[in-house]
Chains A and B, each alone.
Chain A
Amino acid sequence: MSVESMVSGDGQELTIQVSGRFDFSAHQAFRDAYETPASSGVRKFVVDLSGTSYLDSSALGMLLLLRDHAGGDTAEVSIVNCNQDVKKILAISNFEQLFAIQ
């Protein structure tokens, strides 16, 4: 598991990439990724799961925490590049009602 984050050139968008299993072990790293000072001007969050093989319920919890951090109901959080398994887990939980899933 590894978590990497990158702020766009204009400082408006933060992309968080999670590789490997996205589970409780990623908790601190995932949180650090969006709670950095560099993300203070960020309005849009992108969670890139192209390298994520698996997602458990504590990962879903972390996504909710990110959404809360990003402003709750007004948050702009998108989840991109999910593989089939990950997509299925997000679908079961009906997370498309909270996140833009691409």
Chain B
Amino acid sequence: MAAIRILIADDNQVDRKILGRILQKQGNEVIEAVNGEEAVRLFHECKPEIVLLDVMMPVMDGKQAALQIKQVAGEEMVPVIFLTSLTDAYGLADCLESGGDDFLNKPYNPVVLEAKVHSFYRMREMHQTLQRQRDEIAIHNEHLMHEQEAAKAVFDNVAHQGCLSADNIRYLVSPLAVFNGDVLLAARQPSGAMNLLLGDFTGHGLPAAIGAMPLAEIFYGMTAKGFGVRDIIREVNSKLKTILPVGFFCCAVMVEMNFERKSASVWMGGVPDCYLFRKGSGELEVMTSNHLPLGVLGDGKFVDSLQEFNLEIGDRFLLWSDGILEARNPAGDMFGNERLHDVITQAADADRIFHDIKHAVDAFQGRAERDDDITLAEIAMVEPPQVEALARSQIQAAKSGPMDWSFSYELGPQSLGNFNPLPLVMHLLMEVPGLKSMSGQLYTVLAEMFSNAFEHGVLGLDSKLKSTPDGFMEYYQQRQQRIDALDDGFVRIRMNHEGNGLEGRLTVHFEDSGAGFDHVAMLNRRKAELADVGDQQYSGRGIPLMNQICESVEYMGKGNQVRAVIHWPQEQE
């Protein structure tokens, strides 16, 4: 064992010398002080590892010296052993009370002395090891936090705000520095429809942030190209399944709001029950997750079936991850479903619900520690938002790009069932600078034409079904059944563009394999419908809108063909 540096303080020279000699003989390095004051000074200078103090000394006694030495030593453990001839229990206990670690009785027994010195030295070493480990952990932790903050910053950039600040969205996300596993994204499709995704990754920190990044990229990238909830959720699932280790997944709810049609499609997997609040009736409809979380199933087994809703202005979805239900009060109780339900049903009016929930959870938590992530979002049905009018200058500056072109694209039964051609077609159109500023309107026109050709033409679904709420659901059920059984049919898209760089004309022609319809009679009916302003229709909204954008819309043949002509630049209203 290496020499231990020991400070001894005793005003009795004989005692001090005897003790010093024993300790030196046992291989230690000894520093001598004649009173407490000198002991404190030498402690500063020599940094001994163990201190032996006589209790009664002139100038400064042992207890006083022990107090000061312990103060100087701070976090470092310096064992202080009192040397005493006291024998009464109170006197001995008092030594320890004043900061000593042990006492040694005079006269000294060398064997006991050596054992005590070694025992305390071991204790000191153990203490040092602990402190070193504690410091290392603190440094590691600091590193980790730093890395997670960086990950969070990267994630925040990828997952930016999107259109979360839109008037019809309200939301709450925990303002934690470290990524908490919850994701809230919202963005508009070119058509003006809105996609919103609320996700909750298993775990916190890095694994969650790593999964969240591709999720956000896919969400924004595909939304900008006009994809809806079905395609996006499938793509996200497939990506997460590929990159996340088994056992990591993302519970999610995704909503696609179609303001033109006053409808919404919802996919839910692994999130607790969410609500649809009907403003008109004040009813609360429960929406239950019917899918596994994202990233669990491979693409082949993944189910992308949606819950379809028709909505009125002011109806709103209330969405959350499990954080809000698991928020705890100081007593440790969870906020839970019942309280949440009560807050919503007791809200004075629809516009207060979000605020009331936020307030109730906050009040419930009180001063309790907030360890969980509370993510809460509300998205309401509103009048179709104005698609921002692009500056005319931008259109006029655009002289380049393809002007004279045409293409045709035919989709067979297999493609029709599971493929949305619109993003691809839009991509082609967006190459024409003059059309770029009209992307939203163009998308609306194409979406309308395609769904008419596919749903009413190829699938033969009756649009009248959609005019009642019950029929609306029935419509989507039939739609799925017929898609599953589809083994024949086509939709043919032909486009033709001509222009000179300053203006141009796009002709879009759709043809389908369906039986067609009496388009002359329908035209008359449409005119009548148009006159009926107080419409409660869930379908047929697209046509007046198309007439607004298109120079002409014409049905042809037996009603299975339609041609729309769009002229640009358009006068912005």
Taking Cβ atoms with an 8 Å cutoff, the residues of A that contact B are: 57-58, 60-62, 64-65, 68, 73, 92-95, 97-98
Nearest-CB distance from A73 to chain B (Å)?
8
Nearest-CB distance from A42 to chain B (Å)?
19
Nearest-CB distance from B424 to chain A (Å)?
32
Partner of A93, one of B203, B246, B273, B292: B292
In the complex, the answer to whether A93 meets B202 with C-beta atoms within 8 Å is no
In the complex, the answer to whether A98 meets B292 with C-beta atoms within 8 Å is yes
Task: Write out the residue numbers on chain B whose beta carbons fall within 8 Å of the beta carbon of A61.
Answer: 202-203, 246-249
Partner of B270, one of A58, A68, A93: A93
In the complex, the answer to whether A94 meets B290 with C-beta atoms within 8 Å is yes
Is B358 on the interface with A (CB-CB < 8 A)? Answer: no
In the complex, the answer to whether A64 meets B247 with C-beta atoms within 8 Å is yes
In the complex, the answer to whether B247 meets A93 with C-beta atoms within 8 Å is no
A and B contact pairs by CB, cutoff 8 A, 11 listed: A58-B203, A61-B202, A64-B247, A64-B296, A65-B246, A92-B270, A92-B271, A92-B272, A92-B289, A93-B289, A94-B289
Main secondary structure on A side of the interface with B? helix
In the complex, the answer to whether A57 meets B272 with C-beta atoms within 8 Å is no
Is B433 on the interface with A (CB-CB < 8 A)? Answer: no
User: Assuming the A-B contacts A57-B202, A58-B203, are A93 and B293 also in contact, with contact meaning beta carbons closer than 8 angstroms in the complex?
Assistant: yes
Main secondary structure on B side of the interface with A? loop
Task: Write out the residue numbers on chain A whose beta carbons fall within 8 Å of the beta carbon of B249.
Answer: 60-61, 64
Partner of B202, one of A58, A92, A95, A97: A58
In the complex, the answer to whether B202 meets A94 with C-beta atoms within 8 Å is no
In the complex, the answer to whether B296 meets A98 with C-beta atoms within 8 Å is yes
Bound CA span A94–B248, Å: 15
Q: What is the chain A residue whose CB lies nearest that of B337? A: A88
Is B234 on the interface with A (CB-CB < 8 A)? Answer: no
Is B78 on the interface with A (CB-CB < 8 A)? Answer: no
Bound CA span A93–B251, Å: 8
Bound CA span A73–B296, Å: 11
Nearest-CB distance from B288 to chain A (Å)?
8
Q: What is the chain A residue whose CB lies nearest that of B247? A: A61
Is B205 on the interface with A (CB-CB < 8 A)? Answer: no
Q: What is the chain A residue whose CB lies nearest that of B271? A: A92
User: Assuming the A-B contacts A58-B202, A61-B202, A64-B296, are A94 and B270 also in contact, with contact meaning beta carbons closer than 8 angstroms in the complex?
Assistant: yes
In the complex, the answer to whether B272 meets A97 with C-beta atoms within 8 Å is no
Is B291 on the interface with A (CB-CB < 8 A)? Answer: yes
Bound CA span A65–B293, Å: 15
Nearest-CB distance from A98 to chain B (Å)?
7
Is B269 on the interface with A (CB-CB < 8 A)? Answer: yes
Q: What is the chain B residue whose CB lies nearest that of A89? A: B322
In the complex, the answer to whether B246 meets A94 with C-beta atoms within 8 Å is no
Task: Write out the residue numbers on chain B whose beta carbons fall within 8 Å of the beta carbon of A57.
Answer: 200, 202-203, 251, 322
In the complex, the answer to whether B270 meets A65 with C-beta atoms within 8 Å is no
Task: Write out the residue numbers on chain A whose beta carbons fall within 8 Å of the beta carbon of B248.
Answer: 61
Bound CA span A68–B247, Å: 9
Nearest-CB distance from B9 to chain A (Å)?
50
Chain B 225-256: CB-based contact to A (< 8 A → 1; otherwise 0): 00000000000000000000011110100000
User: Assuming the A-B contacts A92-B270, A92-B271, A94-B270, are A65 and B289 also in contact, with contact meaning beta carbons closer than 8 angstroms in the complex?
Assistant: no
